[in-house]
Copies of this chain bind each other. A is one copy, B any other.
């Protein structure tokens, strides 16, 4: 949920205020004092979202937004406009230029982070929306349910994510470190052995349907989901 956010704002006081609040909300703000500077930074590394002031010296905010939206590489980055007053014309041209939302000054820090959250959640569409089924084991991300041979399986959140990852990446070995990255998140710090415990819990839950064999351990390497019971199928 934390995101890198590019703040394009020429007034230092507001710039500071915004970035500070973003930091407090757990985000990673980047500062740009002009549209030109912002363009450089965008070309360097894509941010997750852009907070764009309406009135800027040199290139205006609208022009900047237009430039971004006409570039295939940058057009997908959501933009939130900051405007001095809720002016109708501003609103229309801003949205026309491709802004996803706008905030009228003065705004509360709370509204700021709320809008960001709203836009980002709106912008991230479904990842794996389809149902996965392997050897009678069925997992549905949409309804968030798992069954083995028609019988319901009760899983904790982490076990669910773990199984989801395995079922979308079957027949492939993953180290504990890789699993921590993919299932827990690349930023958390937990012991490698924690994976073992969750693997066991997952197997336990799957055992009632006889599907515990699906999660196989590859000694000194990691774990793997496979339909074949054989511990080693070479070539």
Identify the A interface with B (CB < 8 A): 13-14, 17, 20, 78, 91-92, 95-96, 98-102, 106-111, 114-115, 117-118, 121-123, 125, 138, 140, 142-147, 150-157, 171-173, 175, 177-178, 181, 186-187, 189, 218-221, 224, 226, 230-235
Contacts and interface: CB of A to CB of B under 8 A. Distances in A.
11 contacts: A14-B92, A98-B109, A100-B110, A110-B123, A110-B189, A121-B181, A143-B171, A145-B233, A152-B232, A152-B233, A152-B234
B173 A232 contact: no
Contact of A154 (B96, B155, B231): B231
A133 B107 CA distance: 39
A78 B177 contact: no
Nearest to A205: B232
A106 B86 CA distance: 11
B96 A177 contact: no
A122 B234 contact: no
For A100, A107, A189, A232, which residue has the most chain B Cβ atoms within 10 angstroms? A232
Given A157-B220, A232-B155, A100 B95 contact: no
Nearest to A154: B232
A211 B208 CA distance: 29
A100 B109 CA distance: 7
Contacts of A108: 95, 98-101
A17 B96 contact: yes
A8 B179 CA distance: 31
A106 B20 CA distance: 28
B102 A146 contact: no
A171 B131 CA distance: 13
A25 to B, nearest CB: 12
A93 to B, nearest CB: 9
Contacts of A155: 232
A153 B233 CA distance: 7
A43 B17 CA distance: 28
Closest 7 CB pairs of A and B: A114-B189, A152-B233, A147-B234, A100-B108, A157-B220, A144-B173, A152-B232
